[in-house]
Amino acid sequence: MDNNYALDFEQPLRGLIEQMEHLHQLSAENNIDLSKEIRAIEKKIAETKKSIYSNLTPWQRVQLARHPQRPYAYDYIERIFTGFQELHGDRAFRDDRAIIGGTAFLNGESVMVIAQHKGRTTREKLKHNFGSPYPEGYRKALRLMKMADKFDMPIITFVDTQGAYPGVASEERHVSEAIAVNLREMSLMGSPIISTVIGEGGSGGALGIAVANKILILENAYYSVISPEGCAAILWKDRAKAPEAAKALKFGATEIEKLGIVDGVVKEPVGGAHNDPDGAAATLKEAIEAQLAELKKLTPEERIEQRYARFRKIGVTDEDIADGKIVPIKEAAS
């Protein structure tokens, strides 16, 4: 944990870490053996971590998903892939930096990587529009995905946005239409598509790059039709009710895995991915490799069918399947 920044529920842990650092400093400055006391504090830290992070509320997980030191798209790209070559522009309006993308190598295999990126410093956040894409961002993403599909390259996407940018300029350039086109076109691509929610997965802004064969989510990320604050503003007319909304939405990783919305939950290091970005990236890389190996066994036609079926069954009961209400894409098209 970065001791310069701690969330409210992490304060007890921060105090213990400060005590341990003080003991180390005292031991070094005065040449005193305080190893016994340091071991006792380390044990207490481990116990406190286990107590805090094994009993997180939905709202606390939202706070971790938004942690300012949490790894963002570029952090994962540089740790998981090699030779990333970023490509720019939608060939129609401009380059939207809220969505980044380009070719890279995953264990020597060419892949297309597309991600929403928030930016860490104030300058970067403004440059990347806080991770909220304009319509041209989705059109850039689609251009890159079509390129990947043409050459049968796997498509790997990272989702991290509260939603598409809702401003006037975005509406003037038809953001809803841009997202809708992405949903349609992604559903018909023969290349394997794997999406991972690495932080926030908000509304259609997330879904615009997440119509995938396999969807993963990090343990402390969330995937929802609306942000907790937005939900609270609608239901209670009070954004301060966001913690209650987070609980009601049931958008946590384990909850949506049970509902079949995602295919797997990727464990994070204790305390969140920001405590060990290298470890978090290594675990995520293993999960992506496993899913990709499975998808590569399928033909392009089978991938399209599998992707269609996984989205059709969301929100459907076993009775619906038994009654034949879920039909293959070929039958649906006819």
**Stretch 169-188: mean pLDDT, rounded?**
96
Structure confidence by residue, pLDDT tens digits, 22-60? 888 888 888 888 788 888 888 888 888 887 888 889 999
Among the listed residues 254, 207, 191, 200, the one whose alpha carbon sits nearest the alpha carbon of residue 228: 200
Name the least confident of 57-71, 75-89, 315-329.
Answer: 315-329
**pLDDT at position 1 over 50:** no
Cα gap 212→186, rounded to integer Å: 7
For the chain, what is the mean pLDDT? 90
Interacting residues of 116 by C-beta distance below 8 A, sequence separation 6+: 73, 98, 99, 100, 131, 133, 158, 159, 160, 161, 205, 206, 209
Name the least confident of 49-63, 64-78, 181-195, 222-236.
Answer: 49-63
DSSP state of 297: T
Among the listed residues 137, 272, 153, 155, the one whose alpha carbon sits nearest the alpha carbon of residue 206: 137
pLDDT for res 324: 65
**Stretch 317-331: mean pLDDT, rounded?**
63
> pLDDT band for position 243 (50/70/90)?
very high
Which stretches of 192-252 are DSSP H helices? 203-207, 228-235, 242-249
Interacting residues of 310 by C-beta distance below 8 A, sequence separation 6+: 213, 260, 263
**HSE toward the beta carbon, residue 123, CA cutoff 13 A:** 0
Structure confidence by residue, pLDDT tens digits, 287-315? 999 999 999 999 999 999 999 999 988 87
Question: Rounded to 5 degrees, what are φ and ψ at 83?
Answer: 65, 35
Which stretches of the chain are DSSP H helices? 11-30, 35-53, 58-65, 73-80, 122-127, 135-150, 168-172, 175-187, 203-207, 228-235, 242-249, 253-258, 277-295, 300-312, 318-322, 329-333
Residue written as tokens 């401009």? 94
**Stretch 80-96: mean pLDDT, rounded?**
96
Name the least confident of 17-26, 73-82, 172-181, 262-271.
Answer: 17-26
Cα 117 → chain centroid: 10
DSSP state of 31: T
Structure confidence by residue, pLDDT tens digits, 90-134? 999 999 999 999 999 999 999 999 999 999 999 999 999 999 999
pLDDT for res 317: 64
- The residue with greater pLDDT, 238 or 47, is 238
DSSP state of 241: G
Structure confidence by residue, pLDDT tens digits, 135-157? 999 999 999 999 999 999 999 99
- The residue with greater pLDDT, 6 or 278, is 278
